[in-house]
Amino acid sequence: MAKLLQKMAGSMDACQVLILLFVQLGICSAAGFSASFIFGDSLVEAGNNNYITTLSKANYPPNGIDFGRPTGRYTNARTIADIIGQQAGFKNFAPPYLAPTTRGAVILQGVNYASGGGGIVNETGALFVGRINFDAQIDNFANTKQEIISQIGAPAATRLLETALFSVTIGSNDFLNNYLVPVVTEVRRRIDPPEIFINTLISRYRLQLTRLYNLGGRQFIVPNVGPLGCTPYQRDVNAIVGDNCAPRANQLVQSFNRQLRSLLMELTAKLSGSTFLYANVYHIFADVIQNYKSYGFENANSACCFSAGRRGGIIPCGPGPSAVCPDRSKYVFWDAYHPSDASNSILAKRLMDGNLDDIAPINLRQLANR
């Protein structure tokens, strides 16, 4: 080992050499995970859309108001992926893949590929023009893998990926910005009944997750889709529901989630050495919404960043007319679609340490300590 490190030290900086040593000895950098690779949509994006032409951007105030500055995250501070990374012991957030600084030794600790508007199927989010769908995110990870191999060699890269955490948070846009878009919903339903559309999503998701496994991933956390019908957006566009959640969106999501759970069990059984954790975000978030006062919230149905609509769900949070609630910790929702940092903290904690109702077959801390 000493000779290997001496040989490689001439072409690697001290951080790279240290990470190589950790990988070779099986010592992981944070709570049992060597790195964190994050895929998904705006719920976990860290700024990739800052670098593409798209109508879906969050790199302007008041987004990031409690982060210190706008970063491209669609919330007032941290995403759930950021918080899970912190609780797992990572000192830095996984950087966005498209950032010019996401090069060199930094990628050995993980990368964020998520993109606002992205979905499981490639046509999802077309109304935003630009977005990075899940297939393209996996392509980007394949590029990262080759960069890792060039830095530390194939055997060490294999070990790093096998002990890394792969987080995939996607699917919400396939409903909100595809199947449930008001102007196309009725036409789409006649072509693809809900069960056909959901089967299409699951079939595509199976191929995508299998591809990530074939690229070296072994430890996965895959959150299901949350109660979309309870977002300020769905409440406002379905005003007839009054103070209730929109039932149709939630019914569709629950049907998808049931099939997703079966898919992850199937993949864990089929793909040797893999673990696919089913993160029941729907269950956790529905509990928070229903019992919001017990969690310290004062509002569970309106956006903190408020532009228009009864619940602030008609116009996305952005510069200009948007008003921001004075205490973001009291709101479940940051904007029309996304949780606040306070909500994300609750979700992350329960995925780290929760019971089988929250995450199965084990929680993240148990996975890290295996």
Q: Which residues are catalytic?
A: 42, 335, 338
Are 333 and 340 a contacting pair, CB within 8 Å?
A: yes
Name residues whose C-beta falls within 8 Å of residue 13's C-beta, 6 or more positions apart in sequence: 104, 105
CB 202 within 8 A of CB 258: no
In 81-146, at which residue ranges do the beta strands (DSSP E only) sit?
110-112
Closest CA to 221 of 367, 45, 74, 26: 367
Task: Answer whether 249's CB lies under 8 Å from 228's CB.
Answer: yes
Q: Are 231 and 336 in contact (CB under 8 A)?
A: yes
- Residue 195 CB neighbours (<10 A): 11
> And the tokens for 83?
């918080």
DSSP state of 330: G
Q: Do 204 and 121 meet the contact criterion of CB atoms below 8 Å apart?
A: yes
CA–CA separation, 50 and 58 (whole Å): 8
Which residue, chain included where needed, has tokens 């846009």? 173
